[in-house]
Amino acid sequence: MNEIELVEEAIRKGEGKLGKGGSLIVFTGDKTGRSPKDKHVVREKTTEDKIWWENNRPMSAYHFDTLYSDMLEHQKGKCLYSQALQASIDTNEFFNIEVTTELAWHSLFIRHLLKVPSEELLLDFEPNFKIINCPSFFSDPNRHGCVSKTTIAISFEKKLVLICGTEYAGENKKSVFTLLNFLLPDKSTMPMHCSANHAISDKDDVALFFGLSGTGKTTLSADPDRVLIGDDEHGWSDTGVFNIEGGCYAKTINLSYEDEPEIFSTTEKFATVIENMNYDPVDRSLNFSDPSITENMRCAYPISYIKNSSKSGFGGVPKNIILLTCDAFGVLPPVARLTSAEAIFYFLSGFTSKVAGTEEGIKEPVPTFSTCFGAPFMPQKPEVYGKLLWNRINSKNPVCWLLNTGWSGGSYGEGKRISIDLTRKILKFILSNKTEFETRPDRFFNFSVPLEIDEVPANLLNPQKNWASEEAYDRAAAELKSMFVNNFQQFSSINEKVDGVYSRLKND
């Protein structure tokens, strides 16, 4: 089925309501975010030594087979929807994925988020992997070797993903990303949880934005003065940066036309999936400021709905690598320039705050270390990704940055979150590619902080001066620094330069 048929089918079955412009308004029930604790990888001989088991919950082949058999039995007689889709694994290579869903709107969602093959390619389509999603089936921990009635299970040998017990559509796309995070390193390609754009007149002026959900990947990359390559998942091969996906999945909490016109406009386009948003029952206008269902309200749409998006989904070698963090402690500066070793240290650390709603049970910002800015999607050991990125950075020499979109003037509850307007002014400075500017060394974290940025208050650039009590700032900064040191102990050596960043933090 195509987009028109799937919208019609979802409305006919009562899965959703028609919204403004022909969008589709849907709700996901109890699960309004990902369920990372319910994700499993099957222990298999061919993958046993490659999986990062400290981060990935194992499942036996027997339990996986039982779950698969029970799901197939449950699906008998049901109307199912199947899509033959692709994810990019290089600029001209694709990974074929067959996605079978119980809900018509899930089929529409994944059709937006992945790439639809040409009619010619569909004639000989053979899936490299299959995904089966059945929300109405609930797993049994005793029978299926899982932990709850919700399960996401991956067998790399059987080339199969099983999803049950959740209507949250994001599990579909993140399962694909998990697959490619396992497969792409073997092609010497760096899989990245990041958004990307490039200058309008220069495909080689690429910026990457690493970060967890809620840190600003989608918002900052959808820049009207640059070309959007993609908003969430990319690879970096010898030929450049490419978008793995074919669509965008944007958070809509407090979305406004004034601040984010490109993304806002997609909420009134045909077949855009509007997820977990309250609306006016008469004119179907959306309430962007009402988090009563979840703060993780979202919209899903094809990337072509962004006017200045790339038709090829490809850019050259990055000039700027930006590590986004949302610091709920309020101690990190809004921007810092990093050495290549510091970039790998902060990439592996993956410090940010999980924002409300993105995962089950998250009600307010929670400081966390999510390795590679995407630990739930990383099946291989962190050092694999760290070494890949180190090699890319040191062979191509992009400028690396830490960009904090979190709090300033105090921690969460006391300070204020840095405004999107100020963050954009800082980003404009980064993307200007200035080579000469004055910096100061950060007293706690050693990285280089610009002394002056046009239209950005000086006290914002020096967060200690922005707190009511400098002593309170020092205590919070020392606590965060200690957390970085303790977290980094888990990693094996990447090289002596990255080890040196850790040693300086530990010993200063």
Please list the active-site residues.
34, 174, 193, 213, 217-218, 232, 298
How far is it, in rounded angstroms, from Cα 448 to Cα 450?
Answer: 7
CA-closest candidate to residue 199, choices 317, 306, 337: 317
How far is it, in rounded angstroms, from Cα 406 to Cα 143?
Answer: 43
Neighbouring residues of 470: CB distance < 8 A, sequence distance ≥ 6: 464
Residue environment code for 103-130, b if the CB has 16+ CB neighbours within 10 A, otherwise e = bbbbbbbbbbbbbbbeeeeeeeeebebb
Neighbours of 296 (CB within 10 A): 26
Number of H helices, E strands in the chain: 14, 27
Q: Would you mind telling me the total number of residues written for the chain in this entry?
A: 508
How far is it, in rounded angstroms, from Cα 100 to Cα 107?
Answer: 7
DSSP for 130-159?
EEEEETT----HHHHS-SSS-EEEEETTTT
How far is it, in rounded angstroms, from Cα 492 to Cα 85?
Answer: 37
Crossing angle for the helix pair 470-488 and 340-349, to the nearest 10 degrees: 80
DSSP state of 189: -
